[in-house]
Structure 1
Amino acid sequence: MTSRSPSIAAAQASSLADVDTGFDLRAECTRLLFQGAQVPACLMLVIGVICVLLLRHHASPLELGVWWLSVTALALMRLHQARAVRRTPDAELAAPRWKTFFTFGSIAAALSLAYAILRLVPPDDFSVQVMSYGLIGSVVLIASIAYAVNLRAFFFFAVPCLLPAGLGLVTSPYPLQHGWGELTLVLLGTLSIVAWQINRLIGSNLVQRQQNAGLIQVLQRARADAEGLNTELAHEVQQRRRAEQELRDAYEGLEQRVVERTAELARAACDLSQSETRLNLALEASGLGLWDWNLAEGSVHHSRMAIRFGVGEPENSHPLRPEVHPDDLLPVRQALIDHLKGRTDVYVAEYRARTPDGPWLWIEDRGQAIERDEQGRVRRMIGTRRDITATRQQIEQQRLAATVFEAAREGIVILDDQYRVLAINEACCTLSGFTRDELLGRRVTRLFASEATRARYGEMREMLERDGSWQGEQLELRKNGETYPQWLQMRVVHDEAGRIANIVGFLTDLTIRRQVEERLRYLTHYDELTGLANRSLLKERLDEACQRVRRSGRNLAVLHLDLDRFKTLNESLGHEIADELLKEIARRISQVLPDADTLARLSGDEFVVLLEAYGSLSGLVHLGTRLLKRIRQPVIVDGHELVVSASIGATLMPDNAREAIVLLRQADTAMQHAKHLGGNTLQFFTDRLQLASVETLQLENQLRKALDEDQLEVFYQPRMRLADDYIDAAEALVRWRHPHQGLIAPGHFIPLAEETGLIIPLGETVLRKACAQARRWQQDGTGEIRVSVNLSAKQLRQGNLVTLVRQVLDDTGLPARLLELELTESQLLDDVENAITTCRQLRELGVSLAIDDFGTGYSSLSYLKRFPVDYVKIDRAFVAELDQCGEDAAIVRAIIAMAHSLELKVVAEGVETEPQRDFLRAQGCDEIQGYLLSPPVEAVRFVQLLR
């Protein structure tokens, strides 16, 4: 199965937390409260009049009139507040006073209804009670559902209305009112559960809406930032181009002047003083240093290098050996050698040199040999040196700007003031389909190929010249005639005089964005894996179907389908195969139910089908049977032949309910009942299922409370060694001492604990109590009693069982040899390798291990010999009929012989008679356990039994 990672949703919610989305969650909740209160208010007006007419012979006119006036005033005030809320802005609506108004109005309305129930309705007229309580109950039901948007508002209405009324009726001296009081209290509890579910769903919806608003705000802000960056980039490119041109012009002019001065110096030695003066002036202006290298004497004369290059005073003689960067040393040396050997006319080298204060500078050396000997060897060289660090940095920045210009994903075009193309990047060529040669120097209208764009070209130019910018979305044409949605932004760049120098345009292809938007719209309503409607669309369609059914009087069937044992298949074969199976099941449902009004996938392996005007009930049963049969047909996925079944729960409207959320809950309850019956069946919702579901929920809550309040006790059933009739072990069995129902057997709550996951803390509680008790017996001299504790499959799969056992032994101080852990065959064979590893780690702690209920599972000898266990416990089903059935006796003998051959000890459970004990003793059974010795008893009675 595929699902969205919870960690990604949390990251998105966190990134939107600081964004002002314009969506006030508190204001929206308040608005929903007041809008939902209009129907109950109108209903109060109508029912107030009916109750006055109905009760006019049973209550005093003054009391009845005052009550009617108060009810009418409260209803009109609530309607007036609802109209005022529509015109109130969110900022004001989020203020606490609105919820305060609502709360006081709810309490007043609730007390007025409770007053009518307790004071106005006659206590001895059943027919009037039915009409009056029915009308008031309808107001309470509708108002409670409407107020469920805010649990505080719900409880401030429901509790003042129903709790005093229920208690007053229950304690009334009139027996006829006792049943009404109990019904009122049941209604209060049911409405509380319904209100909690509605509040959770509405709250999730409002949070999702707030997150969506925040995402839109972030996208808009990102787009504005991108526009600003694009504008800055265009301005920066223009400035760098101008700087580069100016630098190039200055450099070329300066270089020309330096060459001319150097040549004049060589040709006119007699005019050295005047040339040197002019050269110094040039050097002053250019920042150049001058060096004169006498190779014959090995000396260098230099000037104007003291400040920048850290060499001595002007005209000072010093060997000029700058520290050249290792990467540049070889190129500099090669350039110098080439010039000295006459291969080049001018010596030119650019390299990095370290200054005395540490940083590296880019240096340019230019020089020429001006004197050679008879053999052609250079005797003297003159040249210049300058710092080109800033120039290299500018070149690097220009290169980076050009790289950014070319690498930009958006198309960028730069125009002159006549709207001719000066430069374009590769993205623009790709976007338009034209080459650079086809666009450079041409009018920008060549890029605007669509008729709509050309028609408003004049408007675009007018807005650019007036406002300095233009942007908009348009449907544009590529060179090959293909159309695509385009977002165009154009901005004007002015020169120093304020005149238009350039226009920069940014072109963005919106095709992918439109596809993403379309995809998001699709995923909002449809399941990505199966293509069926998702939960959101199902809720919307179910609400619409319920409204149509209520208007037309037709019927509606809701089918909730869940695959049987799909989790096991998913864990064993992997998500990919499970996803392919789900797609095939969705296809089969669509084939069997082509006329279904809605097919939806809720989550995982759950599907929902809506059938309007389904015809007869027998036809619906036939349709469900066909669907189950089609699903049961084998599926070939990646070489695996899979056969799966499904459980279907169905509910009907209006027979069972009239509200969408109630229908879904009823269908789910019926589906769960179908699963409890073994799966591969269709079950319809009944009131009995609803009652059982409520009882299960109550039992689960009570069991959680029992764990918190330490209501669970551990009983101990002794185990006796047959060799010497000595009791040295006991099995720890949990019992629930309920404060109202007394002692509850484990068969009533252990299955529920397994289903809800409460078996994990329950098992730890039993383990701790049993170990602590065995340690007390050891310390007070009772004896070293080995306690045997049953483990659940969930505890074995949890992964920290060994750590838990080690910690419990350390906390209680019980030696590991006095603890025995029992596991069933099915638990061991569920995950063989993991079970073997866990059992070996427990054995290394010194804990004994036993296989419980042996003989009822696979009883595989090949597996049994791999598990490091100490005991095999024969199931009570074989021991119970040892006296009547020869087959059971043979099985018991075989189990004992097989266990002894593997050097394991055998414990027989359920021994209740002496002939059973004698038979087991004769067959060499090691220990027995059962009612023949004692039923499970408290620790105190177990000690008495030992004595």
Structure 2
Amino acid sequence: MSSSASACLIAVKYLLVATTWVLFSDYLLTLVVLEPELQLQLQTYKGMAFVLITTAVLFFTARHQLRGRRQQELALRKNDERFNLALAGGNDGVWDWDLVDDAFYLSARCRELLGITAERPEGIAQQWLEYLHPDDKEPLRAAFIAHLRGKTERLELTYRVVGQHADLVWVQVSGQAVRNQQGRAVRLVGILRDISEQVRREQRLLQAGVMFDCTSEGMLICDAEQNIIDVNNAFCQITGYQPVDVIGRSPNLLASGRHDTEFYRRMWQQIMATGRWSGEIWNRRKDGEIYPQWQNIIAVKDHMGTLTHYVAVFADISMIKRSQQEIDYLAHHDPLTKLPNRLLFNERLNTAIVRASRHITTLGLIFIDLDRFKGINDSLGHSLGDEMLQRVAERVQQVCEDADTLSRLSGDEFALLVERPVGFDDLSKLAERIQQLLLEPFELNGQLIHMTASIGLSLFPSDGNDGAELLKNADSAVSLAKSRGRNSYAFYTQELTEQARRRMNLETELHLALQQHQLRVYYQLQKDLRSGQWIGMEALVRWEHPEHGVIPPDEFLPVARHAGLMGEIDEFVLHQACAQMRQWLDAGYPLRTMAVNMSGYWMERGDVLSSARSALANSNLDAHYLELEVTEDEVMHYGDLSVSLLDQLSELGVRLAIDDFGTGYSSLLRLKRMPVNKLKIDRGFISDLPGSESDSAMARTIIGLGKSLQLATIAEGIETQAQEDLLREFGCDAGQGYLYNQPLPAVEVEKILMAVEL
């Protein structure tokens, strides 16, 4: 009902009520009151009562209507406020187009999005069209016409607006037409939304998708449980796997097996800590080939910080590796002989010197200069000269061991790095062998060519402290060899040359010494530092040469090692020492042990166990009197072999001692497992006592270690009473040295033992 009809109805009702009231009340007055004067007076009162009653009714009715209207207005205002807040929260604008009156309403947000500044409605449409992107005007017009004609249920379209600052804004318009009873559109109402960021995200996703499929780098995506959910084309090309082979599986199927658990633990630790990892890793292709790749792994988290995915991007670097290897090879090798060139040789030489210095060992350098090679080049040509160099390199390589390095330094000069403990006699033998190999004629182009070489020899550390000095001195030795008529070799100094020749002579004479029984066993007493009693002996070999007198062991024992005679010498000393110990025990001397050195050569190549059994049986000596000493370095060098051998000797009843303790690189864990009875402190820690604080600390430490491991300790090289007193104070159990006696023959030692008895 319209407002006019409602008002008319109220007025008619009021008229009927008022008329009825007036007529009925007048009729009652005529019946009740007869005097006109009184009747007039009552009529006045009745009129006033009517006014009051109707006024009260109007007041309450009006108040009720106003309250209802106020509540409706408040509800409408709240609804309008909610609507505006919802639009503001969604960053959307509202538009309303009255098609009948051609009135266009745009909210403030719509004006902002469309770049419209006009306040008057008639200017809005013109500005909107000006800012509309030219390419979108016609599609937008066609979409509006189609919707107005009822061809689409809703109006949904996206277009571009050029903003005031020439920036492009993507907007999405959503709306619907309001139609009359005839179905004609009379009004369009809808929402306008800025979707620029959404469009940019979609474009980035589209670009990422294109990159994912087109990049040359392999990519795989895993979920939070590390199951593969997608791979790109490059992944399939690099690994040989197809998506159906890997999706749903763990990346572990690509593992090569070259990396240990610790490698992967550190990798995942970094990913968890920083969200990414980059590095080189070796994986396996589907055909089983192992290849290197450079890989980046990124942990992806959502806006809540929850891990959702892992993305791995990798490149196959096998070609790069091969190229690097080829470049490195060309940079470090002679292209003619394929030998290391001077650069690589110097690197290996310097590295070998550092290693030899750390392990306190030697190494050798052989400088080879071909004699009269220039004449071959001049007469036969450079092509045959190059072939000669190749043949020479092949022959010299025959003398090389795995650790050695043969290099072509330049022209006709070669150098051989002998990276193993060597002496003068070793280098002499190698030089002689090289000369023998070169003496055999070379057949070049049907001709027999004879070639000789002058060879220079130098040793580290005696002939130089660094690679350059060692190489220079070996080159100088070549000049000395050439001055002697070529086809010869020489050491850096004449003294060394003579020493090498002497060692060669010693080797020959040492064979005769063993045959003619020139070797003798000397003995050095061992003293209990607490009681002062003689408790044992150490057996030491000496060579009594018929012409040169007594030759010290440090001169002939290295020769014996290189000549392969150490096993025979060790056997001789062991049997002599056991027999002598038996005699002294039978004579009543209260000795506890006879110490015999057990060389590394004997451990490696000899049957120590059967030799010990034989010596003990032949001398009728109980096993606990025999104490075999092995150096700390040899124990570590032979590893498990030495531990097994010591276990067997311990089961036999033989006592065992570690000699030169403190000079090597012992593993305390291995030392703990070995059946050792005694530690022998090296004389190097005793000689400067009591003045050296560092040696005092070292001796005290070794003694404390021995006590912790329940091992006896004995110090060798005691020469003064002050040294003995200090070692006794430290808790050392026993000692030996020149303070008590030099190594002496058995007869002389007996005199000392008898003097104690007397």
User: Given the two structures, how large is their TM-score scaled by the length of structure 1?
Assistant: 0.33
Which structure has the greater CA radius of gyration? 2
